[in-house]
Amino acid sequence: MADTDAAGDEAPKKKSKLPLIIGLVLMLLFGGGAFYALYSGLILAPAPAEGEAAAHEAPPEGPPMPQVAFVPLDPMVMSLAAGNARHLRFAAQLEVPTAYQQEVEMLKPRVMDVLNGFLRAVELRELEDPSALMRLRAQMLRRIQVVVGENRVNDLLIIEFVMN
């Protein structure tokens, strides 16, 4: 009897819960990975139809490009003040519809004359204002449109406007 009492006093050893915890963590990781792979389409994604595949490969078409040409104006250098040794270097291009490019090219000497006369009349303090270029550009464009005719010049692109 003493032997049975000694065996009964000892409690059975508890099993470790570490394998159970590791199993649960691995199960969560694999489940999350599988969910991500299915959700993002990495696996079991339906194949795109032929029309959809072509749509993804071809770039989207935007509005058609306008048919314009650029007419370069000769660079101009002019003195700004009579008593001062300051000069203005000006270069620009005209954006014109291609249908009127030849006509505007023929009128380029008149355009240069109008711009030269206008820029010589502008006062030095007006040119030094940082916002003056936008006003001057609008005024020059209007004068050019009067010389060459309405709807023949879309824009005046100022390439160089340097005072020294």
Mean pLDDT lowest among 24-28, 65-69, 93-97, 128-132: 128-132
Average the pLDDT over 15-38 and give the result. 89
Q: Answer yes or no: is pLDDT of 83 > 70.
A: no
Residue 94's pLDDT band (cuts 50, 70, 90): very high
Q: What is the pTM of this model?
A: 0.59
- What residue spans define the domains of the chain? 17-46, 68-163
Q: How far apart are CA 137 and CA 115, in angstroms?
A: 10
**Residues 15/21/26/32 CA torsion (nearest 10 deg):** 150
